[in-house]
Amino acid sequence: MKGIFVGTKPSYKVIIGSRALTQVGSLIEKTAPDVQKVLIVSDTNVAPLFLETVKKSIGIKKIEVCEYIFEAGERSKNIDSIAGMWGVMAENRFTRTDAVVALGGGVVCDMGGFAAATFLRGIKVFQVPTSLLAMVDASVGGKTGIDLKEGKNLAGAFWQPSMVIEDTDCLKTLPDDLFTEGLGEVIKHAFIMDRDLYDLLSQIAEEGRADKIREDDLLMEKIVSMNVSDKVSVITEDTLDNGLRQTLNYGHTVGHVIERNSNFTLAHGVCVAKGMGIIIDACEAAGTLDPEEAKKMRDLITAYGLPVTDDITPEEAVEGALNDKKKRGDTISVILVNKIGTSKIKKMSEEEFLDFLKKGKKA
């Protein structure tokens, strides 16, 4: 198994490899020998597949296991679910030395992390992501939280995990649509900061293997590791999202609005892909992104089965973005890619952002 060091405060490791789920107990014991109880947080899709393996691996280490399984989906990402987790931990007399194990996709990682960040003013969390999206993004970097009816991820905390344990075998059982949506975040990393990843993904697409990458274990391990390293380099430099980390929001400002307008029926990674497509159009229309580069970007997104367009109007996108936490003061921080592998943050007023999107829509 591979270990990637995350130099945040506190620091931790991301462990990546086949059969990592069977090691969860021993990794907890090694990393946090004081843990006596864990709450495994998971959802109704993931628990039937992996809960028993993880419980067994923790049980062998004589650590008491409690569980909180919620209905899968973004609609569960609310304060009621968190209160349910707090309740199980309180009833079972968890103390500050105990831990949460978040076993699942992005929603599980965000909520398990938030429950850990807030119970007894903070206990340990071990992130055990089972989806591609959670492996390459949500589980790493300590962003935790829930949605409010006014917007996605509006309440939360930065809370770094004690360890992230990624079993790439989980990707084999992931439904096709969930795997594909994770590729939205993978492609995002390629665009904003990793030309080598772009070259690898586009070469695979040119060879007609884009829909078969899951069949190659070593390739998947490589892709996951490249993405985790990308994310780690960003969050190590800017843990609290005051600068560089905002580049990870490429495609998200508009993507989040599309996601919310669909009442969360569209997957996050799909909406990010649509959001990236809309920003690519706008950058091309503004003359800052070369048409050939723009075509390469659209081609890569579509080669991996993701969309680059949406019916959202510029007015709807701007209105929705005003409720987003990416808004700071009177400006919206818009992430731009004008050359594959690099990105920049441009602060725009409401009017500037509207104009920018309108020009992209017309082109």
**Considering the complex, what minimum distance in angstroms separates the CB of residue 248 from ligand GLY?**
4
| Cα–Cα distance for residue pair 69/46, rounded to 1 Å | 9
The dihedral through the CA atoms of 201, 204, 209, 213 has a sign that is negative
Query: Residues binding ligand GLY: what is the number (CB under 6 A)?
Result: 6
Give the CA distances from residue 30 to residues 34, 61, 66, 201, in Å, rounded to whole numbers and listed in that order.
10, 11, 20, 36
CB nearer to ligand GLY: pick between 158 and 296: 158
Q: At CA 185, angle to CA 244 and CA 291, rounded to 5?
A: 80
CB nearer to ligand GLY: pick between 113 and 360: 113
Of 17, 141, 184, 255, the residue at the interface with ligand GLY (CB under 6 A) is: 141
| Cα–Cα distance for residue pair 335/340, rounded to 1 Å | 13
**Considering the complex, what minimum distance in angstroms separates the CB of residue 335 from ligand GLY?**
11
Only one of the segments 7-15, 65-73, 135-143, 170-178 lies at the binding site for ligand GLY (rule: CB under 6 A); that segment is 135-143
| Cα–Cα distance for residue pair 327/253, rounded to 1 Å | 9
| Cα–Cα distance for residue pair 213/279, rounded to 1 Å | 27
Query: Rounded to 5 degrees, what are φ and ψ at 361?
Result: -65, -40
What residues have CB less than 8 Å from 180, skipping those under 6 apart? 269, 270, 304, 305, 306
**Considering the complex, what minimum distance in angstroms separates the CB of residue 143 from ligand GLY?**
5
CB nearer to ligand GLY: pick between 241 and 310: 241
**Considering the complex, what minimum distance in angstroms separates the CB of residue 237 from ligand GLY?**
12
**Considering the complex, what minimum distance in angstroms separates the CB of residue 340 from ligand GLY?**
19
**Is the distance from CB of 197 to CB of 186 less than 8 angstroms?**
yes
42-81 footprint of ligand GLY as x/- string (CB under 6 A): ----------------------------------------
CB nearer to ligand GLY: pick between 177 and 237: 237
**Considering the complex, what minimum distance in angstroms separates the CB of residue 249 from ligand GLY?**
6
Binding flag, residue 143, ligand GLY (CB under 6 A) = yes
Binding flag, residue 266, ligand GLY (CB under 6 A) = no
Binding flag, residue 245, ligand GLY (CB under 6 A) = yes
Only one of the segments 90-98, 137-145, 158-166, 277-285 lies at the binding site for ligand GLY (rule: CB under 6 A); that segment is 137-145
CB nearer to ligand GLY: pick between 137 and 147: 137
**Considering the complex, what minimum distance in angstroms separates the CB of residue 161 from ligand GLY?**
12
CB nearer to ligand GLY: pick between 68 and 250: 250
User: How many whole angstroms from its chain centre is CA 194?
Assistant: 17
CB nearer to ligand GLY: pick between 77 and 245: 245
One-letter amino acid at 252 equals: H
Binding flag, residue 284, ligand GLY (CB under 6 A) = no
| Cα–Cα distance for residue pair 312/298, rounded to 1 Å | 18
**Is the distance from CB of 127 to CB of 114 less than 8 angstroms?**
no
CB nearer to ligand GLY: pick between 37 and 77: 77
215-234 footprint of ligand GLY as x/- string (CB under 6 A): --------------------
CB nearer to ligand GLY: pick between 55 and 245: 245
What residues have CB less than 8 Å from 348, skipping those under 6 apart? 331, 332, 334, 356
Specify the DSSP class assigned to residue 211: G
**Is the distance from CB of 185 to CB of 227 less than 8 angstroms?**
yes
Binding flag, residue 248, ligand GLY (CB under 6 A) = yes
Query: Rounded to 5 degrees, what are φ and ψ at 69?
Result: -110, 125
| Cα–Cα distance for residue pair 317/277, rounded to 1 Å | 13
- Residue nearest to ligand GLY as judged by C-beta position: 248
**Chain contacts with ligand GLY (rule: CB under 6 A):** 137, 141, 143, 241, 245, 248
